[in-house]
Amino acid sequence: MHEKRRPGPGPGVPPKRARGGPWEEEEALRPSQFEEELALMEEIEAERRLQEQEEEELQPDLEQAADRQFSLEAVDSRWLRPTPRPLDPNTEPLIFQQLEIDHYVGPVRPLPGVPSPPHSSVPVLRAFGVTDEGVSVCCHIHGFAPYFYTPAPPGFGPEHLDDFQRELNGAISRDQRAGKELKGPAVLAVELCSRESMFGYHGHGPSPFLRITLALPRLVAPARRLLEQGVRVAGLGTPSFAPYEANVDFEIRFMVDADIVGCNWLELPAGTYVLRTEGKATHCQLEADVLWSKVVSHPPEGEWQRIAPLRVLSFDIECAGRKGIFPEPERDPVIQICSLGLRWGESEPFLRLALTLRPCAPILGAKVQSYEREEELLQAWSTFICTMDPDVITGYNIQNFDLPYLISRAQHLKVDTFPFLGRVAGLRSTIRDSSFQSKQTGRRDSKVVSMVGRVPMDMLQVLLREYKLRSYTLNAVSFHFLGEQKEDVQHSIITDLQNGNDQTRRRLAVYCLKDAFLPLRLLERLMVLVNAMEMARVTGVPLGYLLTRGQQVKVVSQLLRQAMREGLLMPVVKTEGGEDYTGATVIEPLKGYYDVPIATLDFSSLYPSIMMAHNLCYTTLLRPGAAQKLGLTGDQFIKTPTGDEFVKTSVRKGLLPQILENLLSARKRAKAELAKETDPLRRQVLDGRQLALKVSANSVYGFTGAQVGKLPCLEISQSVTGFGRQMIEKTKQLVESKYTLENGYSATAKVVYGDTDSVMCRFGVSSVAEAMALGREAADWVSSHFPHPIRLEFEKVYFPYLLISKKRYAGLLFSSRPDTHDRMDCKGLEAVRRDNCPLVANLVTASLRRLLIDRDPQGAVAHAQDVISDLLCNRIDISQLVITKELTRAAADYAGKQAHVELAERMRKRDPGSAPSLGDRVPYVIISAAKGVAAYMKSEDPLFVLEHSLPIDTQYYLEQQLAKPLLRIFEPILGEGRAEAVLLRGDHTRCKTVLTSKVGGLLAFTKRQSCCIGCRTVLSHQGAVCKFCKPRESELYQKEVSHLNALEERFSRLWTQCQRCQGSLHEDVICTSRDCPIFYMRKKVRKDLEDQEQLLRRFGPPGPEVW
């Protein structure tokens, strides 16, 4: 697919041609690039279908579509899953890859050799998946009950079990918070067993614990609470019980016990399961019941690493909004729904469908179905979902907009059969509000739409979590990752297209198809699905958890698996915000511009390797004074730099070091396999696996340091950072003591900077090759001074290197070849930060390129001065001045007034529907205002500024945006005092252009007088020139006409460029993408054209002498 896709239009401006020429006619008749792609997809799909027929592969049964109430005329055979082959449960196993595991409370179903439980309703696990042939499966897993542990009180013996079970049963039955009245016992069993708490080393081995098994998962919370309050035990009083593993999700509990990991392959052996032929509860093709202990789980290794032919559906909707108001489901209709379907492992979508309200012209390469009533359109898409039966549903912002809008609209229109989008028959899809908060992302409010059995993978949510971008619109991310742009049509214009004719609705459908196609491309390009599946496999959690839950559940899953093997239990810890601890060391930088190679040495997997080398774990932690009480000798435990004590591996090997060893060794194997593998799909899987293993290893340390988490342990986290600080200091001392003139080296080495896990060394050599050789030698020598598996590695050489301050530096990076730099690398500078306007990033990048690559400091200074002059003279395009900041919480929750927050509030008053919401990035510019007005009051929407000709506060941009970044770069080169004088003062800052606002302020009460175009004298009439300039009127008129022609030519070039981007030179440009600089330029030139035409009208109609 990627090889056959034609490249998009380049950034250059196309040459202007004579209107009406053959070139224009040819372009006008040519379909857009995306339409050509659709046609190409159709050709490829036709070839594939022909090949399938020749090979006599299984064809889907069209009667199956009739069963699902989708008209035969509308169904394409490619949309349906293959018909499952006959399966005999007594002689054949059922093997499938599970994608989602959840549970429900349902009736008891008889299984061979299984006695009936005491309840009429029992918890049933449900695994949805796909076979190798692409057949959908739902497996109902029976017989697993929730349980947790608690230490047995002193004196508790087997004789107390029955009485304790009766007391706990009675307490739960009496407790109103336990929920509905139970039809049977709440506690199924209480057993005595030997286990050990994983928190702390006690030295006495296992102790008596009670394992309490309950009837339903919802009973765990009240049982835990009642036990903490105290339960009477005959002869032992009413002791309080501390719960262990009572805060583990039911699905995670089952997956740990059954040794099942996310997205792995499950096998139901022949003779152990029952196929449902009647009374099916889902829309899956195969539905089976099995006992949990009979399920065979295949570890994702070797042939079991493969991925089933999953069905991925991407969709987008269009609504007919009202002028200036964002669409509302109670009032605005859904007019189009476009869908693309992809079988995993294939290069082209096999399904391209456009459902439209009112007739639409045909689209080559896509199937178009039109409806007269909106209710029919909505029902058709709902039925299509059941017919196509996707495993994964993707799109862009589908969780917060498309899906909630469709469900709310169907509810408003009383289309009661619409909201059944999941795989469970008769189960409605519901909308609920969700909030996610972390230190990295802040707070994000969103919606969650339930589609049980299908995995929703909203690409916007994925990108918000995984990538830091300046803008998250589909246009911006498509350009960033794919190098493609698209039309961005304002919601009010969509209504005009819908109310046009078949061709305008066709244009809208192509636009909608492109919006459904791009998320599919992003899913493939960024390997989102593969990476998520491998992360689920590595961490052992269901795929859906990765998109809706934080980091903690992934470590908990791994911890429980390793603990179960060793008879250890995880306590329930009441989390509170605890004391903080000192973070990593940063060696004070020796600031300056280094025109010599600087070698960078990096500790490989520093924090995981520290935890493994020193056996830091919950299970090895010694409480204060415990070493003496247990009689441990000095060689049996260590004291960390923070004063905490842990036993060594000779006494007990920790759980966390074992988990980390398994993860890192598995990553090493995956990378070795990746180096040998040639199959592209398998390479994707292996690459995703090694990345998931790396991320998982690094997240273990964070889990121990999360004070509001499942199992925080300050002793571990502060010890890890303590060792890290010690190692960085020791590395500095070792390098500077060995590489000296006295030891025979050409110069004395100096560590110029060190940060967390790396050090930058100046060895005093002049060539990159020498620096690389010394870097490798130094890394090996330093590594020999640290315990295994801690290893310092040579990473790269910077030459030249600009060290500005802590966490801020730039340089040309050489990693493998000493004669060619890989790239210009920047850390912490405005070139890579996104909280400034693009002008800052572009100027900093351009200055660094002149300094580091061209080695031209004077050229860098001159360029910076030119840009500052352009800014003050109002020659910088507004797109370069747009600042974007994320709205992470409500206005009342901010300590001080914020520019983007105040603007969001003003925009909400103008149009509540289109105003930014929590989690959105708000674009704004700073406009001029009266002296003393705070910056947060001067923020304004860029489009509003253009439409109302509001003046930009250029002095703010110079002083608050450009000044500090430029001084940081140039001070090490020019000197502190001189840099400011050269850059921020001088001739280039004296000429300023001040625009006059056309709205607001005192201008609302004034009347503007006309001035002479020639000498600017105030005129008493509405003409163009004064009496003194009258002789030059013709000359002045020609000058203004020339200026008008220049503006028209510029507008024509911009318009043509936008037309080429949208793929047609005979249709109007309706794109309103605010992430595209052309959009702001087009708006600005259009406004300048209107002003210039108005100025020319002051000359009056041209006389014969002009002609």
Of 123-132, 825-834, 1064-1073, least confident by mean pLDDT is 1064-1073
Q: What is the pLDDT of residues 872-904, one digit of tens each?
A: 988 888 888 988 887 776 767 777 788 888 888
Q: Can you spell out the DSSP letters for 1084-1106?
A: HHHHHHHHHHHHHHTT-S--TTT
Backbone φ and ψ for 322, nearest 5 degrees, come out as -95, 160
Give Cβ neighbours of residue 932 (< 8 Å, ≥ 6 apart): none
Residue with tokens 């030519």: 1049
pLDDT at 45: 57
pLDDT at 74: 57
Q: What's the rounded Cα separation, in Å, for the pair 693 and 699?
A: 10
For 495, half-sphere exposure in the C-beta direction (CA atoms, 13 angstrom radius) is 12
What band does 62 get if pLDDT is binned at 50, 70 and 90?
very low
Q: Can you spell out the DSSP letters for 618-631?
A: GGGEEPTTHHHHTT
Res 919 pLDDT > 80: no
Nearest by Cα to 317 from 341, 333, 330: 333
Q: What is the pLDDT of residues 434-482, one digit of tens each?
A: 766 655 555 667 788 999 999 999 999 999 888 888 788 888 899 888 8
Looking at 1.10.132.60, 3.30.450.20, 3.90.1310.10, 1.10.760.10, the CATH number of the domain 831-989 comes to 1.10.132.60
pLDDT, average across residues 241-255 = 95
Of 146-150, 329-333, 1092-1096, least confident by mean pLDDT is 1092-1096
pLDDT, average across residues 828-832 = 70
pLDDT, average across residues 754-776 = 92
List 340's β-bridge partners, or say none: 314, 352
Give Cβ neighbours of residue 70 (< 8 Å, ≥ 6 apart): 380, 383, 384, 386, 387
Q: What's the rounded Cα separation, in Å, for the pair 862 and 856?
A: 10
Res 1060 pLDDT > 80: no
Three-class SS of residue 926? strand
CATH superfamily, domain at 311-526:
Ribonuclease H-like superfamily/Ribonuclease H (3.30.420.10)
Nearest by Cα to 578 from 712, 703, 718, 438: 712
How would you list the strands of the sheet with 94-107, edge to edge?
A: 273-275, 286-291, 136-142, 121-130, 94-107, 265-268, 296-298
pLDDT at 923: 87
* Domain 92-308 class, CATH top level: mainly beta
Res 50 pLDDT > 80: no
Res 107 pLDDT > 90: no
Res 916 pLDDT > 80: no
Tokens representing residue 539 in the block: 């961490």
pLDDT at 19: 35
Res 836 pLDDT > 90: no
Nearest by Cα to 384 from 74, 717, 53: 74
pLDDT at 118: 62
Give Cβ neighbours of residue 1019 (< 8 Å, ≥ 6 apart): 1009, 1010, 1011, 1012, 1026
Distance of CA 174 to CAs 177, 181, 182, 215, 237, Å? 9, 9, 11, 16, 20
Q: What is the pLDDT of residues 173-230, one digit of tens each?
A: 888 655 555 677 899 999 999 999 999 998 888 999 999 999 999 999 999 999 999 9
Domains of the chain, residue spans = 92-308, 311-526, 831-989, 1021-1099
Res 54 pLDDT > 90: no
pLDDT, average across residues 380-384 = 94
Three-class SS of residue 638? strand
pLDDT at 44: 61
What band does 103 get if pLDDT is binned at 50, 70 and 90?
very high
Cα angle 462, 465, 469 (rounded to 5 degrees) comes to: 95
Three-class SS of residue 340? strand
- Beta strands 392-395 and 455-458 are parallel
pLDDT at 181: 57
pLDDT at 860: 92
Q: What is the pLDDT of residues 629-673, one digit of tens each?
A: 998 888 999 999 999 999 999 999 999 999 999 999 988 888 888
Which of 576-580, 748-752, 823-827 is modeled with the greatest confidence? 748-752
Q: What's the rounded Cα separation, in Å, for the pair 243 and 574?
A: 11
- The answer to whether the beta carbons of residues 6 and 36 sit under 8 Å apart is yes
What's the whole-number average pLDDT of the chain?
A: 84
Backbone φ and ψ for 952, nearest 5 degrees, come out as -85, 140
For residues 967, 969, 972 and 977, what is the CA-based torsion angle, rounded to 10 degrees? Answer: -10
Give Cβ neighbours of residue 1107 (< 8 Å, ≥ 6 apart): none
Q: Name the burial class of residue 243, with classes exposed (0-12), middle (13-18) and buried (19+) by CB atoms within 10 angstroms of its CB.
A: buried
What band does 1002 get if pLDDT is binned at 50, 70 and 90?
very low
pLDDT at 4: 37
What band does 66 get if pLDDT is binned at 50, 70 and 90?
very low
pLDDT at 65: 33
527 dihedral zone (left: phi>0; alpha: psi -120 to 50; beta): left
pLDDT at 5: 35
For 278, half-sphere exposure in the C-beta direction (CA atoms, 13 angstrom radius) is 0
User: Which residue type does 711 have?
Assistant: L
What single-letter DSSP state applies at residue 235?
T
Res 813 pLDDT > 70: yes
Q: What is the pLDDT of residues 403-442, one digit of tens each?
A: 999 999 999 999 999 999 999 999 999 988 876 665 555 5
Nearest by Cα to 82 from 46, 107, 57: 57
Res 984 pLDDT > 50: yes
pLDDT at 25: 36
Distance of CA 172 to CAs 214, 226, 319, Å? 11, 8, 51
Please indicate whether the domains covering 92-308 and 311-526 agree at the CATH topology level.
no
What band does 1007 get if pLDDT is binned at 50, 70 and 90?
low
pLDDT at 336: 96
- Beta strands 637-639 and 621-622 are unpaired
Q: What is the pLDDT of residues 666-724, one digit of tens each?
A: 888 888 888 888 888 788 888 888 888 888 888 888 888 877 778 889 899 999 999 99
Residue with tokens 């001189």: 978
Q: What's the rounded Cα separation, in Å, for the pair 66 and 386?
A: 12
Three-class SS of residue 309? coil
